[in-house]
Amino acid sequence: MKKAITSLVLVILVLGGAKLGSDFLASYQKKKEKSKVILPATTLFVQSLKRENFQERFPGYAKARSMQQTDVSAEVTGLVVWVSEKLKVGQEVEEGEVLVRLDDRDFQEAILMAQADLAKIFVSQKKQEMEWRNISQQLPLMQETLKIAKRELTRLTEVAASSKDIDSQYIQISERNRNIMELQGKLKIIKMENKSIIAEKKRLDSILATAKNNLSRSAIHAPYKGDISAVYVEKGTHVTIGAALFQVVDAKKIELSIALGSSHFHEINKGALVEIKADSQSPTLWKGEVVRIAPIVDSKNRTFKVFCEILEEDSLVAPGAVYFALVNGKLYEDVFVIPRMALVEESVFVANLAEDKEMYIQKKNLEITRWKSEVVIASSGVEDGDLLAITNLEEIAQGSKVIAINKEEYTP
């Protein structure tokens, strides 16, 4: 009887425990289901991707200088007797315009003296020419009379003429020879004198040319059309050869020297377009073109220089001023331009619309062609129309549900 009662109690306890366990499990399952948290979708900005051409540009600072800047100096010594009213800094002058005059009286006197001496030389030359012409005419006649005298002497000898006649003929022949020798001697003297006269004429011609040249140099002209940038002289100043009088610049022919980082040395070509700005935030003022590239890199500051000419004629670039420049490098065609802020290592997140009409994140690996400070250039890895996640990257991963706001269409 006791065994039966004990068995009955055990059965009741087992059944009760099972019931309690079943109730506990049911209660735990309900609590677990209640504890499930449905995570909200992450709201982020996206931008639509499309293939495009990307023009690489390298920033640098450009110093402007005039391609024509001339210090005009005195070419003769003298006293400044006149200065043009236009000889002022900032004044535009025309090519060939006289701006300074030096005292030219000494040069004018030298010209008059040289001309007077040349006139004397001219008279002497004419006199010599007449003498030469007269002697040249007399000499053949004298030579002919000598021949006649010699023939007569031969005849007298043949006919056995008297010694008196023969002696007389010898005297005539001797006189003819002496006359011929005198005429020939005169020709030699005239020839020698003529050489001296020619040498003197050359000397006087040189003196006259120098005097005329000095006279022309006493008037100092503007070498080309430009602007006066400096004045070093005034009326009453005594100047010597080589003394600077004023400076002229052609402000329309400007070259800019642009310093670029050495890492871009092989990325710039002649003919590359250059944009010139007052500073990095200002609009473009002028456009230019690379005409020269320095062949070496400055090891101290790790830069090299490119030289640009302004394309616009009326650029008004100020020589000596410093500007901000953007120099075109390589043109990348048909690529994706990805902001560095959207990059996770070499991958990006794009938002895709799923069948449930919700947006989910997909991670894509890029084929990067070029790394820049603010963007990367990718040749593949994404597609036209992909919505690139550009914010809240730390909150998303592959498969994350998101609410995508197109940055281009967003209005606060």
In the chain, what are the domain boundaries? 42-53+334-406, 57-66+250-332, 73-102+220-248, 105-217
What pLDDT, on the 0 to 100 scale, is given for residue 315?
65
What's residue 157's pLDDT? 87
Burial of 354-373, coded b for 16+ CB within 10 Å and e otherwise, reads: eeeeebbbeeeebebebeee
Q: What is the 3-state secondary structure of the chain?
A: CHHHHHHHHHHHHHHHHHHHHHHHHHHHHHHHHHHCCCCCCEEEEEEECCCEEEEEEEEEEEEEEECCEEEEECCCCEEEEEECCCCCCCCEECCCCEEEEECCHHHHHHHHHHHHHHHHHHHHHHHHHHHHHHHHHHHHHHHHHHHHHHHHHHHHHHCCCCHHHHHHHHHHHHHHHHHHHHHHHHHHHHHHHHHHHHHHHHHHHHHHHHHHHHHHHCEEECCCCEEEEEECCCCCCEECCCCEEEEEECCCCEEEEEEEEHHHHHHCCCCCEEEEECCCCCCEEEEEEEEEECCCCECCCCEEEEEEEECCCCCCCCCCCEEEEEEEEEEEEEEEEEEHHHCECCEEEEEEECCCCCEEEEEEECEEEEECCCEEEEEECCCCCCEEECCCHHHCCCCCEEEEEECCCCCC
How high is the pLDDT of residue 71?
Answer: 95
Q: Which CATH architecture has domain 73-102+220-248?
A: Beta Barrel (2.40)
Assigned fold of 42-53+334-406: 2.40.420
**CATH class of the domain whose range is 57-66+250-332:** mainly beta
Question: What does the angle CA 327 – CA 331 – CA 337 come to, to the nearest 5 degrees?
Answer: 105
pLDDT for residue 336? 97
- Tell me which residues of the chain have a pLDDT lower than 70: 1-39, 313-315, 410-412
pLDDT in tens, 270-294: 999 999 998 888 888 889 999 999 9
**Given this model, what pLDDT does residue 29 score?**
57
Note if the pTM is more than 0.85: no
pLDDT reported for residue 19? 55
* CATH placement of domain 105-217: 1.10.287
